[in-house]
Amino acid sequence: MTSLSDLPLRADLRGQIPYGAPQLHVPVALNVNENTHPIPEPVALDIVRALAEAVLTVNRYPDREFLELRERLAHYLGHGLTSDNIWAANGSNEVLQQVLQAFGGPGRSVLGFAPTYSMYSILASGTGTEWIAGTRDADFEVSPQTAADWVSRTDPDLVFLCSPNNPTGTRLSLETITAVYEASRGIVVVDEAYAEFEPAGTASALTLLPGRERLIVSRTMSKAFAFAGARVGYLAADPAVTDALRLVRLPYHLSAFTQAAANAALAHTDEMLAMVDDIRGQRDRLVVELARLGYSPYESGSNFVLFGGVADPHALFEALLAQGILIRDVGIAGHLRVSAGTAAETTVFLEALERLGRPTAAGAE
């Protein structure tokens, strides 16, 4: 049987492993930060109608510029944005990949602050861009000074900032983002995949876009919109950025079905986002209850909670899995991550954790 070693694979890809969280069929899956609330049935039916209409013209290529989708996304984001500021692709991972294709590549580098979203380094590798892993301050924070120091020392071509950060849930201040932008000469991407789960009134990096032509704010419909299976990510930036991405995108990269489904969902924004408050409530419940059970949860602005004080992460992961509960081992010593599910799913997780007993003193932080 042929193996990778038998193929003329790029040297920099040898020894790499693909991204992949465990895909297991379990009663309670709380491992990949999905929105566990289903789309409301009336909205789902409207999306189905839109897809049925799209199939009647599927013999033709879709709108290459996906103008209606860009207009709807601009309206949703507000902040004076227009369709010229918006770009979309098949999930925010493809958006970020296109950014790296346009502004990264061989001989160029991208800086991120570890631990952070694991796809950043994989996307960098896939585009031949050097990945630089900066460090964080205590409790996974990143101060303006720390961020600016890393930019000044490494002089990257791009900086990826995840806020709220995956897997820690940590929010970045606008001061930190501004400090990075002012210290850098290249593209600065703020990944706000979980922005809708932040406390009400939290300022978005979208407020920083005017006058900053190198700043990009990335978003997704996967999380708050419960649209993970539809694969729709997007960004807001100076129109010149979207012009640059046209140079690297594949022709007609957003299918007619993707555009139809996303447009129909955005026509029901209020209904689609109605579950966000409930998810926030379950997230906050996790923080309180995990602390009561003897763990060390971190405050989170996302739809998941990272908790420390785990004596043996692998053993606890397996013990929960044996009870049909799947969470995530993110590779941080003494820590695990759990997504905020429905009230029932959260209860099942917390009750199982309590049955397994409190962490030992050796696991405490």
Looking at residue 19, its pLDDT comes to 78
Structure confidence at residue 360 (pLDDT): 62
- Per-residue pLDDT, 364: 44
Determine the length of the chain. Answer: 365
333, burial (CB in 10 Å: exposed 0-12, middle 13-18, buried 19+): exposed
Closest-CA residue to 331 (of 5, 46, 48, 21): 21
> 21-37+275-363 architecture in CATH?
Alpha-Beta Complex (3.90)
- pLDDT at site 16: 82
Mean of the pLDDT values across residues 303-312?
A: 97
pTM confidence score: 0.94
**What is the model's pLDDT at position 362?**
44
- DSSP secondary structure, 59-70, as one string: TS---TT-HHHH
Q: pLDDT for 56-79, tens place per residue?
A: 999 999 999 999 999 999 999 999
Pairwise CA distance, residues 187 & 100, whole Å: 10
Cα(123)–Cα(118) distance, rounded to whole angstroms?
Answer: 9
Q: What is the pLDDT of residues 225-256, one digit of tens each?
A: 999 999 999 999 999 999 999 999 999 999 99
pLDDT tens readout for residues 10-52: 888 888 888 767 777 899 999 999 999 999 999 999 999 999 9
Asked if the model's pLDDT at residue 363 lies above 80, the reply is no
pLDDT at 158 over 50: yes
Please give the C-alpha separations between residue 108 and each of 61, 104, 124, 185, in angstroms, as whole numbers.
Answer: 35, 5, 10, 12
List where CATH 3.40.640.10 sits in the chain.
41-269
Question: Mean pLDDT of all residues in the chain?
Answer: 95
Residue 361 in this model has a pLDDT that exceeds 70: no
C-alpha 236/C-alpha 259 separation (Å) is: 17
Residue range(s) in the chain whose domain bears CATH number 3.90.1150.10: 21-37+275-363
Output the six-digit token pair for 219.
Answer: 């978003």
pLDDT in tens, 190-214: 999 999 999 988 999 999 999 999 9
| CATH code, 41-269 | 3.40.640.10
